[in-house]
Amino acid sequence: MNLPDDLDFARREGTRTIRRAAALCAVLLVALLANATRVQIFESGRYGGNPANHREAIDRYARPRGDIVVDGRPVTGSRYTGGMFRYERTYTDGPLYAAVTGFSSQRYGTTLLENAQDPLLAGTDPMLSLFPLWNDFVRRHPPGGQVVTTLNGAAQRAAYRYLAGRTGAVAALEPSTGRILALVSAPSYDPGELSGASASVAEAWTRMNGDAAQPMLNRAIRQTYPPGSTFKVVTAAAALDAGVVWDPDERTMSPNPYLLPGTTTWLRNETYGCANASLRYAFEWSCNTVFAKLGVDVGPRTMAATAEGFGFNDPGLRIPFAVAPSTFDRKLDQAQLALSSIGQFDTRATPLQMAMIAAAVADGGAVQAPYLVEKTTTSAGETVSSAAPHTRYRAMSPATAAVLREMMTDVVRQGTGRTAQIPGAVVGGKTGTAQHGVGNSGRPYAWFISWAQAHDAAEPAVAVAVVVEDAAGERGEISGGGNAAPIARGVMEAVLDSQPGYGPNSHGSASRPRSGTSGRLWPSPK
C-alpha cells in the first residue's frame, strides 16, 4: 500500500471538488445578483405598479402627509387610523377647495395639487433633506412639506357661495402676476370621502362617478365651453392690432342682418342699432353682425394668431397640474370664421382661459403665466421652492389694451354689464351668452369676464371669468349680465376688500373714470 500517493490523490480530488463548489457558488451568486438587478432595476416598474404590491402605499401612509395652505392656514390634515395604512387624508372645507386640492386616496390615488406636489407632501422629495441618498438607504424620509397656495380665501369663499346650487365655474387671477386667487367648480364634492381604504370609500367613488351632475369634473380648468360674446374681446384686439379698425368710434361697414359668406344663412342680433355700428357700440351692446364681419375682414391666420397670443391652442399649460387646452380652429372657411369670431362654431375655452383674456386687457396686453403655488416649504417652514411670475404670451399691443379697457369699462358703466358695478372701483367687463347643442337646442351658457381696480390703486387687482351652465329664467332671458356678472362682482369685491386701504365709500362711485384716463364719456351711435 502506497499511503503517500493515496493521500496526495485525495488531496488533489478534494481541492478539485472545492474549486468546483466555489465556481458553482460564484455562478449562483452572479445569477442571484443578476436576478436582483433585473427585479430591482429593470422590472421595478412592473412590480411596483402591481396592484398586489402594497409596500409603497403602506410606506406612503405610514406618516402624516404635508399640508396644503391657504391664507397661512392648512386646509388639509392627516388622521391616525391604527390600520395597515396608518394615516389617512383629511380636508377642512373639502368641497370649497376640491377644485384646487383634488384628493389623496389610499384606494384611488391622487389628483390636482395632491398629485402635482405628491413627492413633497409625501416627504419623498429629495429637496426636503440634506442627505436624500442616505434617507433612501435607511428607508427613512423627512416629514412631508407644505404647499403654500396663491389663493385668496375670501375670493374662494365668495365664488363658492355665489355659485351654490348652480352648475358652472369661476376663475380669478391677479393680472400683474398671474397668481390664481380663486378656482371653483360647481357642483363640488368632499375629497375626504375618498380618503382611507374602507368600503365606504368605494361606495362614495361609485356614487360620485355615477352622479349626472358630475361633481368630480373640474369645470374651471378641465371643461371647455363655447365662450360666446366674451370672445369678442379677442376679435376686437385682432381688428385693432391688424389695422382693420383704426378708430373705435368710427362706423363700420357692417350690415344687419349679415349674410354668412358662401351660405344662405343670415346672422342677426338681439339688440338694436347694430347696422354699421362703431366698434365701441358693438362691443358695449354685443352686436354679433359687427364682430362676425370683423373676424372675416381680419382673416383666419391673424384671428388664429391673436387667439393663440391669449393662450388658445396651447396644450402645455400647467398651474402646476394640467389645464385642458382652449381651442380656436386654424382651418376655417369664411362662414365658420365669422361664427368663431363671436365665440361659436368650434371655438372653446376653459373659464381659466377666459380669466386670462380679461387679465391681459387689465395688464396692458401681456398674459402672465397663471400659477397656483406661491412656494413650497419643509415642515419647519424653510423654503424649498418659490414661484417667479413671468409673461407667457403677448396678446396685443399696449395701445390696443388701453382701448379695450375703455370699452370694457363702458360695458359695465352703461352697457350689458351694469350689474357688475362696484362702488369705489372701476370695473371693466364683457358679457356673453353661448349657444350650444344640436341646432343650438341646449340651454345657453351665461358668461361674464371682467377686471376691477380700486380708484386709488396703481393697477387692477383682479380679473375674473364666470360661466353658469344652468342659468335660471326663460331661455330668452338668460344672459351673462343677468346670471354671471353678479357672481363676478361678488368675487371682485372680496378681492378688493382684502386690499389695504380699500373702502367702497371712500373713493368715489363706480361710475367715476379710472385714474389716468381722460374720463371721456363716449357717445353711443344710434
Identify the bridge partners of residue 326 per DSSP, sorted by sequence position: none
DSSP 3-state of 413 = helix
What angle, rounded to 10 degrees, do the helices at 485-497 and 153-163 form? Answer: 160
Helices 288-298 and 300-310: angle between axes, nearest 10 degrees:
110
Strand partners, 364: none
Q: Catalytic: which of 78, 188, 195, 229?
A: 229
Residue 378: predicted pLDDT: 93
Give the pLDDT of residue 477.
Answer: 40
How many residues are listed for the chain in this entry?
A: 526
> So what's the pLDDT on residue 525?
31
Instruction: Determine how many CB atoms are found less than 10 A away from the CB of residue 14.
Output: 10
Please name every residue paired with 68 in a beta bridge, in sequence order, or none if there are none: 147
Which of these, 475, 462, 256, 449, lies nearest to 343 by C-alpha position?
449
DSSP state of 377: E
pLDDT at 526: 29
Residue 164 to residue 15: CA distance in whole angstroms: 86
d(CA 174, CA 503): 19
Single-letter amino acid code for the residue at 129: S
The secondary structure of residue 229, as a DSSP letter, is G
Crossing angle of helices 288-298 and 232-241, in 10° steps, is 50
Q: Strands, DSSP E only, in 397-473?
A: 425-434, 445-454, 462-468
**Rounded to an integer, what distance in angstroms lies between the CA atom of residue 491 and that of residue 464?**
8
- 355 CB-near residues (< 8 Å, 6+ apart): 171, 172, 173, 370, 449, 463, 464, 465
Please report, in tens digits, the pLDDT of each residue of the chain (526 residues total): 565 666 676 677 778 888 888 888 888 888 888 887 776 666 655 655 555 555 566 666 768 999 999 999 999 999 988 766 789 999 999 999 999 999 999 899 999 999 999 999 999 888 886 655 445 444 556 789 999 999 999 999 999 999 999 999 999 999 999 999 999 999 999 999 999 888 999 999 999 999 999 999 999 999 999 999 999 999 999 999 999 999 999 999 999 999 999 999 999 998 889 999 999 999 999 999 999 999 999 999 999 999 999 999 999 999 999 999 999 999 999 999 999 999 999 999 999 999 999 999 999 999 999 999 999 999 989 999 999 999 999 999 999 999 999 999 999 999 999 999 999 999 999 999 887 554 554 578 999 999 999 998 999 999 999 999 976 544 344 466 788 999 999 999 999 999 876 665 444 433 333 333 333 333 333 2
Closest CA to 248 of 399, 473, 144: 399
Write the CA distances from 105 to 71, 79, 209, 320, 409, integer angstroms: 25, 13, 15, 20, 46
CATH superfamily to which 228-373+390-497 belongs? DD-peptidase/beta-lactamase superfamily (3.40.710.10)
Helices (H), 140-198: 153-163
Give the span between the Cα atoms of 462 and 483, in whole angstroms: 20
Return the bridge partners of 289, or none: none
Distance CA 494, CA 497 (A): 5
Chain centroid to Cα 210, Å, comes to 24
Known active-site residue 278: no
